[in-house]
Amino acid sequence: MSEVGIPKIGIPTIPVLTPQNRWDIAACAKDLMLVERKRLIAKRCDDNFSEMFWERTNSGSRSVFAEMPIPKKDIGIFYFELKIGTKDDKMSILYFGLATKQMPLNSIVGTEKGTYAYGNHGQFCCHDEEIETPSYKPFDVGDVVGCGVNLATRRIIYTKNGERLDTADLFVDSAGDLSDLFPCVTLFSPGNKIEANFGPIFTFDIADGI
């Protein structure tokens, strides 16, 4: 599958992955729980959380970063995926993407300077701006969503269930160092849960014409 609106280029795609990556216990909000030794599952666990309280205060967000950032490379594709799962098969709000570790753990990835995100309502966000897209692709429980960067062009990649989404106008700021960006996810309600996959096998085929 070629990039949306751009002909497929017949050159090999070089994955630049971090398969040993996991969520960072030292960069994890206190109301999130990292499950098992592999620390690929993150879960929102504070039972006293109130949806009404969040609506009034905008303080329900809790974030966690991965241990490893984007590797220092000039070419290739960095990428990771999340499987979405929650208790009661219901999800409130979830954002995931890339962020520097200057972002506070009670902030939302995509709403701080130097952060980029795909939200579960289908919106793309960066530097606290929502980016208009031709068609919104919401995701929900059971979906597999992905985020990456073409290191040569700095174009951001988002996928849903193995399908690449249209991100033709989304780029990482040229002033920033790509190796300062870490995979990051923001969860809101108790029971919200994700499982990360840092590679090398994904639902999306990286070699398929990025």
Number of other CB atoms surrounding residue 200 within 10 Å: 11
Q: Is residue 102 within 8 Å of 182, Cβ to Cβ?
A: no
| Domain-embedded: residue 28 | no
pLDDT digits (tens, 9 = 90+) for 25-82: 999 999 899 998 899 999 998 655 444 444 433 458 999 999 999 999 999 999 999 9
**pTM for the full predicted model:** 0.86
Residues 93 and 188: beta-carbon distance below 8 Å? yes
Residue 206 lies in a domain: no
Residues 68-110: tens digit of each pLDDT: 999 999 999 999 999 999 755 556 789 999 999 999 999 999 9
pLDDT tens for residues 96-146?
999 999 999 999 999 999 999 999 999 999 986 777 666 679 999 999 999
- Residue 14: inside a domain: no
What are the two backbone dihedrals, phi and then psi, of residue 44, each rounded to the nearest 5 degrees? -80, 125
The answer as to whether 44 is a domain residue is yes
d(Cα 96, Cα 98) in Å, to the nearest integer? 7
Q: Any idea what the CATH number is for the domain that residue 93 is in?
A: 2.60.120.920
* 178, part of any domain: yes
In a domain, 136, yes or no: yes
User: Is it the case that residue 1 has pLDDT exceeding 90?
Assistant: no
Cα distance between residue 25 and residue 161, in whole Å: 28
User: Burial, 147: exposed, middle or buried (Cβ in 10 Å; 0-12, 13-18, 19+)?
Assistant: buried
- For residue 175, what pLDDT band results from cuts at 50, 70 and 90? confident
Q: What end-to-end distance do the CA atoms of the chain give, in Å? A: 8
User: 75 lies in a domain?
Assistant: yes
- Domain assignment present for residue 193? The answer is yes
What is the span of the domain harbouring residue 193?
34-197
Number of domains forming the structure of the chain: 1
pLDDT for 51: 46
